[in-house]
Amino acid sequence: MSSSQPTLTFGPLLVGACTDTGMVREENEDAYGLPTVDPAFWQSHGYLFAVADGVGGGGGGSEASQLTITTLYNQFYSDGEPDLLQAIKHANMAVRRQRLMGSEAHTRMASTVVMLLFQGTSFQVAHVGDSRAYLVRNATLYQLTLDHSLVQEQLDAGAISAAEAQSHQRKNVITRAIGADSAVDADVSHADQVFSGDTFILCSDGLTNHVDEPTLVHMVTHYAPMDAALALLQLANQN
């Protein structure tokens, strides 16, 4: 790219973030969250980043993802002890309540979510659904989450191959989602160490379905964070 886009800065972290309606939907059903609260919370709670991908259509998906992000951040950056699982439970209750009380168009509304939390020199990842977190370290890509999806279950059971999973006709069927049930089962990783030069990617399946892993690595290791985010979004749309 000939000119660099402005990169966001949160303490020691350099960040690029963007989202787009894409080539299929009429509304953008994805949303992301950044630690834009009082910086005093960064010291006590850490730096929280999140991506949510709504489902339901008819405006329900867009509302579900936005409500998920808003509730997560309001809960996590409250005066109490920071707790990823509690934040996810509150988001689930908020979306579930809206789903049950909303119009007929909202009866299927739900959302995936993937969260990345930096505290000191360590990080944690939590997720529900098939939005993913990756780590690029020394030019090697590590997938930090396993999809909560029908295809992933079949892959784990040995019923299909990795190649078959890529083109499976039910690839978009998720088995867990925020707001789908009265209780939510989230996966939370143990804290691991962050090293200088580590790059993290949070994304919905709008990216991973259309951009291969070598391209992900190339983009985030050769471009500044915001340039990489914008280039990957453009490439996903082209593909």
Position 186 scores a pLDDT of 96
Per the structure, the complete domain to which residue 64 belongs is given by 23-206
pLDDT band at 4 (very low <50, low <70, confident <90, very high): low
Angle value at C-alpha 25, between 24 and 30, nearest 5 degrees: 115
Residue 144, pLDDT > 70, answer yes
Amino acid, res. 154: Q
| Domain-located, residue 170 | yes
Q: Answer whether residue 122 is part of any domain.
A: yes
Is 169 among the domain residues? yes
What's the CA gap between 182 and 184, in Å, rounded?
7
> Which tops the pLDDT comparison, 46 or 22?
46
81-101 pLDDT tens trace: 899 999 999 999 999 999 888
177 assigned to some structural domain: yes
191 assigned to some structural domain: yes
Q: What CATH code is carried by the domain that includes residue 122?
A: 3.60.40.10
Rounded Cα distance between 20 and 27, Å, is 9
pTM score = 0.91
Q: State the total domains in the chain.
A: 1
Report whether 116 contacts 202 (CB < 8 A).
yes
pLDDT in tens, 168-187: 666 678 899 999 999 999 99
Averaged pLDDT of the chain: 88
34-43, 149-158, 175-184 — which is least confidently predicted? 149-158
Task: Specify if 172 maps to a domain.
Answer: yes
**Whole-number percent of the chain with pLDDT over 90:** 66
Q: Is the pLDDT of residue 80 over 60?
A: yes
Mean pLDDT of 11-19: 94
Quick check: is 233 in a domain?
A: no
Rounded to 10°, the helix 213-222/225-238 angle is: 150
pLDDT of residue 154: 76
Q: Is residue 92 part of a domain?
A: yes
At residue 23, the pLDDT reads 63
**What pLDDT does residue 3 have?**
45
Strand partners, 54: 111
Confidence category of residue 160, pLDDT binned at 50, 70, 90: confident
Over 60: is that where the pLDDT of 2 sits?
A: no
* pLDDT value, residue 164: 66
Dist. CA 175–CA 125, nearest whole Å:
19
In the block, residue with structure tokens 């966001």: 8
